[in-house]
């Protein structure tokens, strides 16, 4: 645990929801005012270098064709393909009148094409819209002699080298979208400062990437499509699995939307169904978690049909709310659990007219799961619903406004039965403010974990966080030498300052171990569960031990072949009579039966961290809690026989 810092962050407050154990009014106040006015920290993905936005932002050469019923054909210059110039075909829809009008870029999905009816839909609504082809075809779906790559899966997922990145379909398709945007902005009837982007399925995938590359857009709506396809998608076990390892890792780094959407600077509506065949909810949630929370609105609909459908009232309304100052959607914040109730705040001025709980108690693949609904309650700026008793359960809260438009939280999971008043076993996102942005670090983990492909994963709080490794924490790596000597570049650091067992459970449930295959996982967690704050009631040793057991069980479920090394909770305080020493000893006394039951290795280095008289020296931990370089070396030496 680290002493509370005055450095705060507003980046993720919109995902916060009420804390357990208080009345509803207090819950709402906590959500809407906590940390207000404090300094905002920055983070997120590095700048991309594949697409030359300055060059692609120039209006292309265009050949205009036939115009009829608000629609005109156009061919514009695309990116070179295999050393030859290309053209892209599109339909442009224009409303009657002189403008200036807002503009929309429309991106079709797999098996689709430039749809003139889609452009006409937006033109009738008062927008200039361009619907381009991204598969090298023209009118009638006929192949262009000078078209770019086709959109077959064998083209999208072929093996390639970094030098061939600009020959890949995704590079060309995103470029086609950016250039179409540049053409749209150049039209005299378009207001270039009021343009938006929406795409369906593979077009949603492209929308997620493009929103993070072309920051000129003022609004974006990916429908179905998302990132983290390598973690879960219809392509994970076939197309992606069939790629050579180096090509697959390069594809993820260059072309998975999870690597790009975190740079988006405009409001984004994420629209998907509970059981989408291609883009399941776990990958969808990870994608949303890459985006600044003040920019993301979620709408998960029950059994939403997948196809080239564009007459979604919620999409029209969301775009209007940004580009035409229309009524905003009722944005739902992140779920928190209070007893047997799920609670989420409404974060916009548009109230919810009704609320529902959408849930399923099935396990396994998302697509065949049976989703059910229960009525919820509204009031005091939150929506809530009582949870069924069955476990495991996946669930989300959905709000419906007076127009009938449905928005939602992302989904949450509860695995273990019971819980009661033991918050240590209820997955919970960030509770405390610290020196870093908790949600940004989580997003960074999701984005880099496959690149690292770690042999060793360390899970914990600030004690682990400030050892070293990736994600990098500049100025906070207090044991860099011992880390490099023991782990090199083969370890992933899942230590998060101020975390408790419930925070670790949330992070595991939200994908930090997904699709990883480490040989060893080191867990050190629990000391912060002893710390009472305005957001947390201190746990008893029995409750904390149960939380530690839940973490071990969750890790075993995620990476069943990994060897798990559980560290006894480190001592804290300079003197042996420090008030927390006895409670830590009680926790550690409860761990041997747990580790024996689970087949986990328990490592206790308490005596190695203390002097012979039971005192702790500043040479081991300068604040008598967080290890110094010497303290981390003691830990490294204790781990070495189990790792090497």
Q: How far apart are CA 236 and CA 227, in angstroms?
A: 12
Q: Name the β-bridge partners of 603.
A: 567
Does the active-site annotation cover 462?
yes
- Radius of gyration in angstroms for the set of CA atoms belonging to the chain, rounded to a whole number: 26
Which helix H or strand E contains 37, and what residues bound it?
Answer: none
Q: How far apart are CA 439 and CA 507, in angstroms?
A: 10
E strands, 253-381, are: 268-273, 296-301, 336-338, 341-345, 354-360, 372-375, 377-379
Site of tokens 């393909």: 81
What is the CA angle 25-30-32, rounded to 5?
95
Does the active-site annotation cover 626?
yes
Site of tokens 């078209």: 147
Q: Name the β-bridge partners of 357.
A: 374, 397
Which helix H or strand E contains 543, and what residues bound it?
Answer: helix 541-558
CB atoms under 10 Å from CB of 160, counted, come to 18
What is the CA angle 200-206-210, rounded to 5?
125
Helix (H, G, I), strand (E, B) or coil at 148: coil
- Cβ atoms of residues 67 and 33 within 8 Å: no
- Cβ atoms of residues 272 and 304 within 8 Å: yes
Q: Name the β-bridge partners of 105.
A: 130, 197
Does the active-site annotation cover 623?
yes
User: What single-letter DSSP state applies at residue 600?
Assistant: -
Which of the residues 462, 465, 509, 510 is marked catalytic? 462
Residues annotated as part of the active site:
462, 623, 626
């Amino acid at each position: 645990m680290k002493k509370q810092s005055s450095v705060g962050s507003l980046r993720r407050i919109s995902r916060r929801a009420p804390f357990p154990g208080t009345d509803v009014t207090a819950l709402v106040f906590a959500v809407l005012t906590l940390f207000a006015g404090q300094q905002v920290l920055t983070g997120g993905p590095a700048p991309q270098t594949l697409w030359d936005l300055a060059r692609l932002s120039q209006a292309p050469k265009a050949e205009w064709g036939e115009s009829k019923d608000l629609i005109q054909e156009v061919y514009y210059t695309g990116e070179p393909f295999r050393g030859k110039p290309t053209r892209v075909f599109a339909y442009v829809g224009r409303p009657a009148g002189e403008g200036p009008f807002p503009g929309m870029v429309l991106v079709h999905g797999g098996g689709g094409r430039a749809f003139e009816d889609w452009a006409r839909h937006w033109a009738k609504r008062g927008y200039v819209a361009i619907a381009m082809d991204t598969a090298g075809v023209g009118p009638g779906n006929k192949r262009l002699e000078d078209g770019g790559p086709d959109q077959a899966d064998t083209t999208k997922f072929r093996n390639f080298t970094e030098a061939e990145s600009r020959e890949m379909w995704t590079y060309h398709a995103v470029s086609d979208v950016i250039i179409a945007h540049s053409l749209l902005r150049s039209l005299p009837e378009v207001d270039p400062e009021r343009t938006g982007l929406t795409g369906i399925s593979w077009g949603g995938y492209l929308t997620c990437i493009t929103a993070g590359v072309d920051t000129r857009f003022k609004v974006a709506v990916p429908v179905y499509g998302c990132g983290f396809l390598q973690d879960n998608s219809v392509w994970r076990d076939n197309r992606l699995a069939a790629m050579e390892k180096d090509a697959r890792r390069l594809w993820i780094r260059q072309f998975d939307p999870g690597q790009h959407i975190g740079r988006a600077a405009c409001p984004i509506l994420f629209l998907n169904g509970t059981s989408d065949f291609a883009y399941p909810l776990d990958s969808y949630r990870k994608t949303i978690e890459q985006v600044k929370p003040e920019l993301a609105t979620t709408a998960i609909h029950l059994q939403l049909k997948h196809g080239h459908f564009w007459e979604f009232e919620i999409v029209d309304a969301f775009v209007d709310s940004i580009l035409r100052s229309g009524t905003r959607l009722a944005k739902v914040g992140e779920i928190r659990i209070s007893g047997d109730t799920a609670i989420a705040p409404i974060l916009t001025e548009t109230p919810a007219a009704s609320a529902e709980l959408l849930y399923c108690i099935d396990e396994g693949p998302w697509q065949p799961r049976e989703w059910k609904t229960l009525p919820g309650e509204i009031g005091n700026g939150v929506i809530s619903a009582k949870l069924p008793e069955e476990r495991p359960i996946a669930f989300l809260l959905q709000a419906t406004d007076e127009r009938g438009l449905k928005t939602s939280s992302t989904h949450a999971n509860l695995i273990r039965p019971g819980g009661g008043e033991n918050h240590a076993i209820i997955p919970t996102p960030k509770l405390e403010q610290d020196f870093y942005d908790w949600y940004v670090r989580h997003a960074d983990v999701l984005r880099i974990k496959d690149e690292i492909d770690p042999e060793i994963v360390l899970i914990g709080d600030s004690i682990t966080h400030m050892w070293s490794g990736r994600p990098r924490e500049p100025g906070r790596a207090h044991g860099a030498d011992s880390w490099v000597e023991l782990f090199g570049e083969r370890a992933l650091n899942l230590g998060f300052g101020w975390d408790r067992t419930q925070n670790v459970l949330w992070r595991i449930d939200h994908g930090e171990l997904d699709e990883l295959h480490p040989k060893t996982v080191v867990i050190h967690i629990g000391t912060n569960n002893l710390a009472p704050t305005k957001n947390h009631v201190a746990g008893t040793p029995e409750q904390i031990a149960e939380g530690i057991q839940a973490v071990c069980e969750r890790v075993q479920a995620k990476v069943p072949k990994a060897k798990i090394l559980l560290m006894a909770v480190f001592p804290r305080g300079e003197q042996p009579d420090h008030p927390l020493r006895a409670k830590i000893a009680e926790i550690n006394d409860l761990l041997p039966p747990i580790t024996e039951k689970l087949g986990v290795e328990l490592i206790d280095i308490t005596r190695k961290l203390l002097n012979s008289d039971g005192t702790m020296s500043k040479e081991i931990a300068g604040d008598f809690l967080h290890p110094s370089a010497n303290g981390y070396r003691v830990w490294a030496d204790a781990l070495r026989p189990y790792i090497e």
